[in-house]
Amino acid sequence: PKPQTSGAKSAGRFGKPDFVYLAKDDVYRCPAGEKLAHHFTADEGGQKMRIYLTKACRTCPFKDQCTTSNERRIRRWEHEHVVEAAQTRLDRNPQAMRVRRETVEHPFATLKMRMGATHFLMKRLPNVATEMALNVLSYNLTRVLNILGVEPLLAAMRA
């Protein structure tokens, strides 16, 4: 599910979900009815973020409920439409996350057991990533052996 981690929302102000994205016009509509237009694109942590803003906040009656600045800014990831589509599917079928958790938990539990159910042996991200990749590879090879068997796997490798 899409995380809802708005600092504005926790401070009692409007959060991003209170702003409606209008894809046809590529603008956000605020709770007061003003439109936040795309002004620039920024690169944040390797992700392209489109920044939408409006200067109508200065005279807006909802300003105190919306922003502490002179203008409200909304950031939108260039691929956010994919996240929104997934959220829409999840809203229509709330049990999907339960099924997903049940499906995914087994491999992770098996990996954790094989790793000793404690911690990674290596330090630093590149080393930990390699250790995890090797664990996943060994898990996948074990699954292939269990599903196909040794002889069909060797035959497939020879072919």
Considering only residues 53 and 103, tell me which one the structure prediction assigns the higher pLDDT.
53
**Radius of gyration of the chain, Cα coordinates, nearest whole angstrom:** 24
State the DSSP H helix or E strand holding residue 137, giving kind and residue range, or none if neither: helix 125-148
The predicted-structure confidence for 96-140, as pLDDT tens digits, reads as follows 888 877 777 777 777 777 777 667 777 888 888 888 888 888 888
Q: What gap in Å lies between CA 46 and CA 43, rounded to an integer?
A: 6
State the DSSP H helix or E strand holding residue 70, giving kind and residue range, or none if neither: none
pTM listed for this prediction? 0.58
